[in-house]
Amino acid sequence: MVSIFFILFYTLFPALVLYLAQKYSLIRRIGSVVICYAVGLLIGNIGILPENSQEFQDVIITIAIPLAIPLLLFSLDARSWFKMAPKTMLSLILGLVSMLVMVFLGYFLFKENIDETWKVSGLLVGVYSGGTPNIAAIKLALNVDPDTYILTHTYDLVIGAFLLLFLITAAQRFFLLFMKPYTSEQGRIENSKTFAISEDFESYSGIFRRPVIMPLLKGIGFSILIFGIAAGLSFIVPENTKMTVVILSITSLGILASLLPFVNKIGKTFQAGMYLILVFCVVVSSMADISKFDLSSMPLFIYIFIAVIGSLLLHAILSAIFKINVDDFLITTTALAMSPPFVPVIAAALKNKKVIISGLVVGIIGYAMGNFLGVLVANILK
């Protein structure tokens, strides 16, 4: 019964936030993503979650994200990414270089203070080039001690929560102090209504009206079909590549589906996908357990802090030197450091849907190479 209550809470709380955002300007200014993330972090650390919470948390994330990504892509023009590809690829390279520099620096600073630092370095390379699927796979590949893995991932989740709050609130204004702004010409596509920055970007108004909900249900059906195809493909690949195959497949199929006019014209698919992202925000933030912090693990915390914040600042400096605009920099940073599901979250905060596809592609590249890069770096440092 308790588990059912929290499952309902996770799935329905974002609806309450969106309802309150329509009624109160303060809620709108704070932002639905911030509120969902903050509340998730709160309930995850006050001792009210049941012992089996991770079981249904994993199930919700496993369902929400594969369904969200196609819905987010249906309303977008996939051709836009190819027009922005050179700068996006450069930003990806600069992001990976920044991350590797900081991981190597942290290793040499703390190799005497952290047990099996080379394994921790491999974990960090994996999680900051792809995300949780990579860090889990690298744990198995390097036979990382369970306590070290849990503490590393916990610190990553908590630091990531504060990083996310920064990215969706003050990051754009801060980095505009020395980086060039995004201009509409950089991703402009003729007659592309889906790429316009409009007042209804986050509007759910009228979503339950019959002319809207019926086509939207078809869109959700297409998303489920894509999820099913991707899940089927995962059965024919090795276990440690399943998540990469699933995410790659649903992104590819979502992009292809967006090229079909009868799919691309379905209204409110982006909003439906964003709702699932809000569910994900509540769930994933509630998985961060700050009770595991103690002074003996402070070197590990500082190492992870350097890897996250140091690579962010170095990436920003390099992006400014190579004249990459602030939105492309932030979306690339998000895709690498926080994984593709957070890309639309940051795009919403930037009020710029044009960067979503490039961000997702960067994230997919990170998923694909994160395991190899993490194991490679760990063995080099070993």
- Give the integer Cα–Cα distance in Å for 318 and 254: 32
Q: Burial, 156: exposed, middle or buried (Cβ in 10 Å; 0-12, 13-18, 19+)?
A: buried
Write 4-8 long-range contacts (CB < 8 A, 24+): 6/49, 6/50, 6/53, 6/56, 7/56, 7/60
Q: To which H or E segment does residue 136 belong? A: helix 132-142
DSSP 98-134: HHHHHHHHHHHHHTTTSTTHHHHHHHHHHHTTT-HHH
Tens of pLDDT, residue by residue over 244-299, are: 678 778 888 888 888 888 888 888 888 888 888 888 888 887 877 767 667 777 89
Per-residue pLDDT band for 321 (boundaries 50, 70, 90) equals: very high
Q: Check pLDDT > 50 for residue 208.
A: yes
Residues 146-174 have pLDDT tens digits of 678 778 877 887 888 888 889 888 888 99
CA–CA gap between residue 249 and residue 73 (Å, rounded): 13
Report whether pLDDT(101) > 90.
Answer: yes
Q: Is residue 213 classed exposed, middle or buried when 0-12, 13-18 and 19+ CB atoms within 10 A define those classes?
A: middle
Q: Does the pLDDT of residue 240 top 70, yes or no? A: no
Residue 133 banded pLDDT, cuts 50, 70, 90:
low
- Cα Rg for the chain, rounded, in angstroms? 20
Quick one: pLDDT at residue 188?
A: 42
Mean pLDDT computed over every residue of the chain: 81
Structure tokens at 220: 């959700």
Query: Which tokens hold the place of 6?
Result: 């929290």
In angstroms, the CA 305 to CA 323 distance is: 26
In this predicted model, which residue has the larger pLDDT, 162 or 239?
A: 162
